[in-house]
C-alpha cells in the first residue's frame, strides 16, 4: 500500500482570511498545500464551510442532491444562478465556482461566453466550471481571454452519463486513460486554473497531476492530487447510499431523524411549545 501524503497544514483550521481567494492563488498551490474544496447550494451551508474551504463549488450535483433529479442533465442555467447567488451570500473568503450546466456551453465558445458571463454577473462568483472533453480547449481559451476564470473537469463526466453508460469509473482501457490525460493537458494549456479529476484510478490521476501545470482536484481519484472535493451532503452522511469514493465524516441523516422524531413526539404529547417558546404579554 502506498504511503498517504503528509498533511502539511497544522490542525488549526479555520484559517482566518480577510479577502476572498482568487483563481491565480489556487493555481499557485500546485505542488504545495492541498486545496480544500466542497460543494454548497445554499447560504447556511456556505457560511458553515467557508472558513474551512479554499474553494466552494456550486455544482450541478444540486439537481440530484437537492432537487431529486436522476442525473445532472436536467439542471438549468437559472437553477445554477439561483443557487450561486445563495452561496455567494453565505460565503466570505473561499473562491466560489459555479458549474455551467448541460447544454449551456458545448455548442460554440460564444454560447459558452454568454452563459458564463451571465452566471458571473448575476451571482458575483469568481469562476465557472465546465466538463472538458476534446471539444473544450477552444472554449476555455475563449473564456479566459475574455476575463472568465475556468475550472475544467476530466475523467467521469456526469453530464455525459448517457454516452458513457452511467456513473462508472473511467479509464479501464488504455486508450480512454490516455484520452483523460490528454484532455487535462489541453485544458491546462488553454488556460484553466485547476482541473477536477473524477472517477479514475489513482494511477491515472497521478499521471494527470504530473502532466499538468495546474492543481488537480480529486474526487474518487488519488490522495496525491493537489486537492480534494466531495459533495457536501454525501460526506455529511445525509444519504444512506453514497459513491465508493465518499467517506462519511458525519451522520446527519440519523441526527435529523432523531431530532424530527423528538419534535413529533413533543407535539403529540403537547410538551411543545414550552413556556420559554411562548410570547407572554404583561397585563
Catalytic residues: 198
54 labeled binding residue: no
Q: Which helix (H) or strand (E) holds 34?
A: none
By the 8 A CB rule, do 91 and 126 touch? no
60 labeled binding residue: yes
DSSP string, 85-154: HHHHHH-SSSEEEEEPPTTSSSS-HHHHHHHHHHHHHHH--SEEEEE--TTHHHHHHHHHHTT--EEEEE
129 labeled binding residue: yes
DSSP string, 169-200: -B-SSHHHHHHHHHHHHHHHHHT-SEEEEESB
131 labeled binding residue: yes
- Binding site feature residues for 3-methyl-2-oxobutanoate: 60-61, 99, 129
- Binding site feature residues for Mg(2+): 60, 99, 131
- Binding site feature residues: 60-61, 99, 129, 131
Amino acid at each position: 500500500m502506498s504511503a498517504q501524503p503528509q498533511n502539511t497544514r497544522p490542525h488549526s483550521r479555520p484559517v482566518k482570511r480577510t479577502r476572498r481567494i482568487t483563481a491565480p492563488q489556487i493555481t499557485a498551490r500546485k505542488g504545495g498545500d492541498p486545496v480544500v474544496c466542497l460543494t454548497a447550494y445554499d447560504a447556511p451551508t456556505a457560511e458553515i464551510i467557508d472558513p474551512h474551504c479554499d474553494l466552494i463549488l456550486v455544482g450541478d450535483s444540486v439537481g440530484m442532491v437537492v432537487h431529486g433529479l436522476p442525473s445532472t442533465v436536467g439542471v438549468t442555467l437559472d437553477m445554477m444562478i439561483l443557487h450561486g447567488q445563495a452561496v455567494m451570500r453565505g460565503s466570505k473568503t473561499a473562491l466560489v465556482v459555479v458549474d455551467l450546466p448541460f447544454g449551456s456551453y458545448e455548442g460554440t465558445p460564444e454560447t459558452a461566453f454568454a452563459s458564463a458571463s451571465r452566471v458571473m454577473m448575476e451571482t458575483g462568483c469568481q469562476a465557472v466550471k465546465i466538463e472538458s472533453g476534446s471539444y473544450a480547449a477552444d472554449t476555455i481559451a475563449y473564456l479566459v481571454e475574455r476575463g472568465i476564470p475556468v475550472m475544467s473537469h476530466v475523467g467521469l463526466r456526469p453530464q455525459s452519463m448517457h454516452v458513457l453508460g452511467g456513473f462508472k469509473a473511467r479509464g479501464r482501457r488504455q486508450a480512454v486513460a490516455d484520452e483523460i490525460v490528454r484532455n487535462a493537458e489541453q485544458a491546462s494549456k488553454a488556460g484553466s486554473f485547476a482541473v477536477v479529476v473524477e472517477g479514475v484510478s489513482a494511477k491515472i490521476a497521478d499521471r494527470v497531476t504530473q502532466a499538468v501545470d495546474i492543481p488537480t482536484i480529486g474526487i474518487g481519484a488519488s490522495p496525491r492530487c493537489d486537492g480534494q472535493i466531495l459533495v457536501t451532503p454525501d460526506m455529511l452522511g445525509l444519504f444512506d447510499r453514497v459513491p465508493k469514493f465518499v467517506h462519511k465524516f458525519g451522520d446527519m441523516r440519523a441526527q435529523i431523524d432523531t431530532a424530527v422524531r423528538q419534535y413529533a413526539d413533543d407535539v403529540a404529547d403537547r410538551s411543545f411549545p414550552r413556556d420559554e417558546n411562548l410570547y407572554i404579554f404583561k397585563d
